Amino acid sequence: MLDLFSDEIPWSEPLAEGAVILRRQVRDDAETLLKVINEIALRNPFYHRITPGGHRMSVAMTHCGDFGWSSDAQGYHYTDRDVETGQKWPPMPECFRQLAADAASQAGFPHFNPDACLINRYEPGTKLTLHQDKDERDLRQPIVSVSLGLPAVFQFGGFERSDAAQRVLLEHGDVVVWGGPSRLRFHGILPLKFGVHPLAGAFRYNITFRRAR
């Protein structure tokens, strides 16, 4: 008989209408995904972007795909190359694209074809304040977010920053998908607690897939 509470069995956990956590979805593929992240970072190293207000983001970022996310004095936007180096972003690996499409389809969003992949690296103490993902052209397309490494507390709120937010623990291999009526909900990550993961060391990696254009 299957143990429905086993850590080895993926399952779906609803968050809100149009939002779901796919628990353990990519745990078996995690080692490969982390190796791919390292390969991308060799071409486009992790660095800390500066917000339009002049503050250094605590999260380190790299990108792959046709578009990457940039920040400057004019605000946040997508570009087809790294504004720091002038180089095109590394291409999105097919295993990443397939992962995103499969997770989106499982969550009720078929035919998702991301053209932007943001990879965030969290160290202990790093956080991501509540925000909306609204720089994409077609807000009918979902967001697919993959967690690897250390666990983190994910905040999933309402449509105003002041709305109460759920707090849920995301662990290694979990995938969150949100779109439709939940597409513009505020979300964030509480400060990461210290730990050491057997594959990721003292880090949490978050792979976020979007359709930017």
Residue 111 labelled as part of a binding site? no
> Do residues 208 and 118 make contact, with C-beta atoms less than 8 angstroms apart?
yes
Residue 76 labelled as part of a binding site? yes
Residue 187 labelled as part of a binding site? yes
Residue 97 labelled as part of a binding site? no
How distant is the alpha carbon of residue 22 from its chain centre?
13
CA-nearest of 112, 187, 191 to 144 is 112
Instruction: Please give the single-letter amino acid code of residue 135.
Output: D
Residue 37 labelled as part of a binding site? no
* Cα gap 42→141, rounded to integer Å: 29
Residue 44 labelled as part of a binding site? no
Residue 36 DSSP SS3 = helix
Instruction: Give every CB contact of residue 63 below 8 A, 6+ residues apart in sequence.
Output: 40, 44, 69, 82, 89, 90, 116, 117, 118, 119
Residue 28 labelled as part of a binding site? no
**What would the two tokens of residue 200 be?**
């990721």
Residue 47 labelled as part of a binding site? no
Measured CA to CA in angstroms, residue 48 lies from 45, 64, 95, 135, 186 at distances of 10, 16, 26, 19, 22
Residue 178 labelled as part of a binding site? no
Residue 209 labelled as part of a binding site? yes
Residue 207 labelled as part of a binding site? yes
Instruction: Give every CB contact of residue 42 below 8 A, 6+ residues apart in sequence.
Output: none
Residue 133 labelled as part of a binding site? yes
Residue 120 labelled as part of a binding site? yes
Instruction: Give every CB contact of residue 192 below 8 A, 6+ residues apart in sequence.
Output: 122, 123, 124, 125, 126, 127, 150, 152, 204
Could you tell me which residues are annotated as the binding site for substrate?
69, 76-78, 135, 161
Could you tell me which residues are annotated as the binding site for Fe cation?
131, 133, 187
Could you tell me which residues are annotated as the binding site for 2-oxoglutarate?
120-122, 204-210
Could you tell me which residues are annotated as the binding site?
69, 76-78, 120-122, 131, 133, 135, 161, 187, 204-210
